[in-house]
């Protein structure tokens, strides 16, 4: 790691994030970039770098609860990015295909597609839907150091990681130091989480659990969100019984209400009435998975935006239009368009058109409502608003992630399962 390496880390660091406790922005840091990077490199190599405290904030989870977030200083983000790049080059050859989160060339949509393909290849399955309780807050530092000992011995890097793990959290004027966990919002946290769960879950399942099962099983994980698909109910219940003990060994626990076993099979075709059809669903990464008839008439797994995410999107549109109703129309149009395009970019998958259209309608209604309530003496009834949409049209829903395009790259494991 030299200055050129740190320069590349700076280029990969997000520039629009919130500042840390020092208030320094990316633009201010870049004004004397070469000098700042040279100083950072010297302090990092000599061991003189001191990890500053992170700024603690609470973000809304959309269900009335909040999630703690730790925001490092910008210089700390650059150094964390550099160390994450080193760890990534080491661990990418070790991580298993079941892991999709925060890895190059992988994404949440890859995990979702793997779930869909696997469930259809099994022609229905038992789904172990698991939720790790406060994973980032309860990650055991001692266990993480043990895992790192197996692959990373460089003292400079290990000291930097220890400093980040021990860094304080400044919130409401008080400084608190952690004895466990790694702050969400830290650039280094995702790769540390992947290393931790690679040892605790991925390797354990593939090496110790899967060979002992009678039927087929597949683990799909994105960061700390994961599901396990089974063809055998007995296998699923055995794993559900042993999984809490496995996690408890490393200081983790499963949420008792959010961890459940679901029978995810195609509806019973022999049912006499629609009421007797057993339709089971499960949620993963913001999508509800459900069996539905395809256009060909065959049963297929369809994904649609979960009700919780739909409610959150509608509320966010209403609140934004309310808070910015006095902005000029071009500014409002640009911002709303960007928000809708961002929503389509993630939720725009095959079979989810109705949910995308619902979000589009919510945005239009919210925009019309708060334009109509502006204190400028001009109302905005629907006829006038429809004319406004001709001049400032909101982007229409579109499918960004098509299952038909993904079929050109078949999954070899799923092919064997068939």
pTM value?
Answer: 0.89
- The pLDDT of residue 378: 78
User: Residue 375 has which token pair?
Assistant: 């204190």
- The pLDDT of residue 221: 97
pLDDT in tens, the chain (418 residues): 899 999 999 999 999 888 999 999 999 999 999 999 999 999 999 999 999 999 988 887 666 677 888 899 999 999 999 999 999 999 999 999 999 999 999 999 999 999 999 999 999 899 999 999 999 989 999 999 999 999 999 999 999 999 999 998 888 888 888 888 888 888 999 999 999 999 999 999 999 999 999 999 999 999 999 999 999 999 999 999 999 999 999 999 999 888 999 999 887 655 544 444 555 899 999 999 999 888 888 889 999 999 999 999 999 999 999 999 999 999 999 999 999 999 999 999 999 999 999 999 999 999 999 999 987 667 899 999 999 999 999 999 999 998 876 554 544 334 433 3
- The pLDDT of residue 418: 36
Nearest alpha carbon to residue 226 among 282, 265, 181: 282
């Amino acid at each position: 790691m030299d200055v050129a390496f740190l320069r590349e880390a700076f280029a990969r660091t997000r520039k629009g994030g919130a500042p840390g406790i020092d208030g320094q922005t990316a633009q201010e840091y870049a004004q004397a970039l070469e000098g700042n990077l040279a100083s950072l490199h010297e302090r990092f190599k000599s061991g003189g770098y001191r990890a500053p405290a992170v700024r603690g904030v609470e973000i809304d989870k959309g269900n009335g609860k909040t999630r703690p977030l730790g925001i490092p200083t910008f210089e700390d983000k650059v150094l964390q990015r550099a160390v994450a790049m080193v760890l990534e080059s080491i661990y990418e050859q070790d991580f298993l295909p079941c892991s999709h989160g925060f890895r190059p060339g992988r994404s949440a949509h890859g995990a979702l597609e793997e779930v869909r393909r696997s469930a259809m290849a099994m022609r229905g399955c038992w789904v172990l839907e698991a939720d790790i309780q406060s994973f980032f807050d309860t990650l055991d530092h001692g266990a993480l150091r043990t895992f790192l000992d197996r692959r990373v011995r460089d003292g400079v890097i290990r000291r930097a990681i220890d400093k980040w793990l021990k860094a304080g959290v400044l919130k409401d004027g008080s400084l608190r130091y952690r004895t466990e966990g790694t702050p969400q919002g830290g650039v280094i946290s995702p790769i540390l989480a992947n290393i931790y769960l690679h040892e605790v879950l991925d390797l354990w399942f593939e090496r110790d659990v899967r060979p002992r099962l009678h039927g087929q099983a597949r683990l799909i994980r994105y960061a700390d969100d994961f599901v396990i698909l089974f063809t055998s109910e007995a296998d699923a219940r055995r794993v559900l019984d042993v999984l809490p003990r496995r996690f408890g060994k490393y200081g983790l626990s499963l949420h008792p209400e959010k961890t459940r076993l679901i029978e995810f099979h195609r509806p019973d075709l022999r049912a006499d009435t629609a009421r007797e059809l057993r339709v089971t669903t499960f949620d993963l990464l913001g999508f509800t998975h459900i069996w539905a008839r395809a256009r060909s008439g065959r049963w297929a797994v369809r994904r649609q935006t979960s009700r919780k995410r739909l409610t959150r999107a509608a509320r966010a549109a209403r609140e934004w239009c309310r808070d910015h109703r006095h902005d000029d129309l071009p500014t409002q149009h640009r911002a709303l368009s960007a928000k809708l395009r961002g929503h389509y970019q993630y939720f725009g998958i095959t079979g989810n058109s109705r949910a995308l259209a619902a979000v589009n309608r919510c945005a239009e209604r919210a925009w019309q409502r708060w334009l109509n309530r502006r204190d400028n003496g001009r109302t905005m009834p629907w006829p006038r608003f429809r004319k406004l949409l001709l001049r400032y049209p909101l982007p229409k829903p579109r499918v960004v992630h098509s299952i038909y395009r993904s079929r050109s790259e078949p999954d070899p494991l799923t092919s064997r399962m068939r």
